[in-house]
Structures are given as C-alpha cells and as structure tokens.
Amino acid sequence: MSPPVTASSAPMRNRTSLSAVFLRFLATFGLAILLVALIVTFSLLLPDTFPTAFNARSILSDKSTIAMLALAEMVPIATNQFDLSIGYHIGLAHILVIGLQVNQGLPWPLAVAIVLAVGAFVGLINGLLVTRAQVDAFIATLGVGTVLYGVSFWYAPVQIVGTLPEGFDRISSNPSGIPLPFVYVVVISALLFVMFEYLPLGRYLYFLGANPRAAELTGISARKYIPFAFVVSGVITAFAGVVLGSRLGVAQTTVGPDYLLPAFVGALLGSTAIKPGRVNVLGTIVAVFVLAIAVAGLQQMGAQFFVEPLFNGSMLVLAVGLAAYASRRRTQMRARDERSTSSIVPNEAPRGQPVTSGGGESN
C-alpha cells in the first residue's frame, strides 16, 4: 500500500515538483537565457559600440563560418562519432575553390561544384574508415585531416592571390542587409532541423548514437547511415570553405585548423540546451552565438588576443562535462518514466478473482 498523503507531505511534494520543473526549464533554456543576458550586459557596458547594426553584421558574418562547421560536426556526433578533420577540411576547401579559379582558370560555378564533390568524398572516406575498417573516429578523422593539411601545403605552398569573378565575390557579400553567410546558416539549420525532427533519417542517426546494437537489430545499418552522416558533414564543411574563400579572396594554408575548436565546442555545448542530452540544431546555433557574443564583448572591452582560444578551450572542457551530465540525466529521467509507467498496475485483484503471478494460471 502507498503511504497516506498527509497535510504536511502535500506541500513538500508540490515544492519538489516545482523544483523539478524549474530545473528542467533551466536545463532546456539556460543557454538561451545566457545569450540574452550577455547581449544585455555588453550593450549596457559598451553602449557606443556593441548594440549597433555594424557590430551585429560583423558578428553574424564572422561567426557564420563557425556556425556552419558546428552544424557539420553535429551530424556525426548524433551517431556518437566525431569528425576532427573539419578544421583541415575547410582549409583545403577554401584553397581549392580559389586555386581552381586562379591557377587552373575554371569558372567559379565549376570550381564550387568540384569542391563540394571533394567534400562529399572526404566525408565518405571518413565514414568508410569508421564503419568498414573499424578505425576509431578520433583516429580516422584526425588522420584524414592531417592528410588534407598536407595536400593543402602541396597545392598551395605559397599564398594564392588573383582576380576573382564578381559572381564568386557575391557569394558572401551583402553589405547593406543581413550577411549572406548568416542566411546560409539559417537555410542549413532549417534543412537539418527538418531531417532530425521530422524525418525517419534523423531518428535513425539518433538511434545509432544512443544504442548501436539495438539499432542494428531493428534494421538500421551503421554501415549505411554513419557514412551518410560523415558525407553530410563533409559537404557542409566544403560549402563553409567556399563561403570562407569568397570572404577572404585569398587562399592561405594556415587558415582552417583554428576553426576546429570553436566548432567542436559549439556542437557539444549545444547538446546541453533546448534538448539536453543530445545534439540538436537549435542548441548548436545558440551555443555558437553565446561563444561569439562573449568573445566579441570581451575583445571590445580591451581583452588581449589570447582571450578567444583561452575562452574556447575552457568552454570545451565545460561543454564535455555538461554534455555528459545532460546525457546521464536524460537517461535517468527516461528510466524513471518507464518505471512510473510500469508501476501503474492494479495492486489488488477484483473480488471473486484469484491473484496470479508470473503469467501462470491459478488452480
């Protein structure tokens, strides 16, 4: 029998329920609240420079590349894999898209198509190494990324500079309105959101990340869907390289690796918000711009150049810890809900009917 509900236990139970609701709300929307708080705080501290249209356009334009890379990283993370090649990959992509036009004289649409095809191929190689060769994703993608870094130095031992077509320049230019790179982020986010939230494909990727063995038993093949996740990541990374090349107008081998850490942080930190315990599109975008606003505000207040890597590294450690905690919390809540559901059974048999146990029949 369940213990009787007394007058003193009812308020305590209500307080516990309200506390649980508040904690769940904070876990879900805490990062978004932090984003708003950072914007308000820096706007009050820096009223002449921070809350301006120019500053907003600069942040949206500069950090959209990181946002695209974070979204690219998010897709394999959904399957419990990691892509450490994205920093080197975006470097090679922006070198190729400029070099193919300047050195080989290709029209810019063909150069972009080739770079996107190379991106899909790189993602496929990563996926096959992980699923067919059974190489750990950290080792496989780091090795592939290092190879890409070497290819970048081979193709562009020196800076590639040249006259680029106006159509290629327009890929990233929109000086009067919303920066086009941010528009691309919105479009990619919308496509991934639909895939993960409304299509079976997204659920398959989540299922593979949560329980690969159970996914295989239900017919969701890791050999099919994990390479697909890496291909999607590769194409998005290559496109981010195209946008970066259009913005810079110059190809440099040193550009690329520095993007890995903030993109990785954005994807992992995003798994602690909106849908805590798993990576998701909205959480990733919020996380990226929390980092962007914090760094931009600190730099405008006079912080030195080392603040950004210091901040990103600290946030990576924090993001990993919070992501692990959110994942455990989600698992515990799911198990508790399952126990609660299974416990809703009659405690007493109806009058005149025997009580049976273990599915057997009464004599």
| Mean pLDDT, rounded, of the chain | 86
Higher pLDDT, 177 or 73: 73
Instruction: Check pLDDT > 70 for residue 14.
Output: no
Question: Is the model's pLDDT at 113 over the cut of 70?
Answer: yes
Mean pLDDT comparison of 8-12, 78-82, 170-174, 358-362, highest-scoring range: 78-82
pLDDT at 360: 42
Residue 69 belongs to some domain of the structure: yes
Supply 134's token pair.
Answer: 């059974």
Q: How many domains does the chain have?
A: 1
Residues 24-62: tens digit of each pLDDT? 777 788 889 989 999 999 999 999 999 998 899 999 988
Cα angle for residues 110, 111, 112 (degrees, 5° grid): 90
Q: What is the CATH number of the domain that holds 45?
A: 1.10.3470
pLDDT at 4: 54
The percentage of residues in the chain with a pLDDT greater than 90, rounded to a whole number, is 60
Instruction: For residue 199, give both structure tokens.
Output: 């299509």
Residue 258 or 354, more confident:
258
> How far is the C-alpha of 270 from the C-alpha of 202, rounded, in Å?
17
Q: DSSP letters along 13-52, please? A: HHHHHHHHHHHHHHHHHHHHHHHHHHHHHHHHH-TTTSSS
Position 249 in a domain:
yes
Q: What is the mean pLDDT of residues 248-269?
A: 91
Confidence of residue 351 (pLDDT cuts 50, 70, 90): very low
Which residue has better confidence, 133 or 9? 133
pLDDT at 73 over 50: yes
Average pLDDT (177-182) is 89
Residue 361 counted as domain residue: no
Whether 303 maps to a domain, the answer reads: yes
Helix (H) or strand (E) holding 246: helix 222-248
What counts of helices (H) and strands (E) characterise the chain? 13, 2
Confidence of residue 311 (pLDDT cuts 50, 70, 90): confident
Q: Which residues contact 321 (CB under 8 A, 6 or more apart)?
A: none
Q: Summarize the confidence of residues 237-241 as an average pLDDT.
A: 98
- Burial class of residue 247, CB neighbours in 10 A (0-12, 13-18, 19+): buried
pLDDT of residue 352: 40
Residue 195 within any structural domain of the chain = yes
In this prediction, residue 137 carries a pLDDT of 96
Using pLDDT thresholds of 50, 70 and 90, give the confidence band for residue 109. Answer: very high
Distances (CA, A) of 114 to 69, 101, 118, 188, 221: 19, 11, 6, 20, 29
Nearest to residue 86, comparing CAs of 222, 94, 8, 78? 94
Q: 249: exposed, middle or buried (C-beta count within 10 Å: 0-12, 13-18, 19+)?
A: middle
**Which residue has better confidence, 173 or 205?**
205
Is the pLDDT at 12 greater than 70? The verdict is no
pLDDT class for 358, splitting at 50, 70, 90?
A: very low
Give the structural domain span for 118. 31-334
Residue whose C-alpha is closest to residue 126's, from 289, 238, 246, 215: 238
Beta strands in the chain (DSSP E): 160-161, 250-251
Determine, yes or no, domain membership for 6.
Answer: no
- pLDDT given for residue 357 in this prediction: 38
In a domain, 353, yes or no: no
- Residue 172 forms part of a structural domain: yes
Q: What is the pLDDT of residue 156?
A: 93
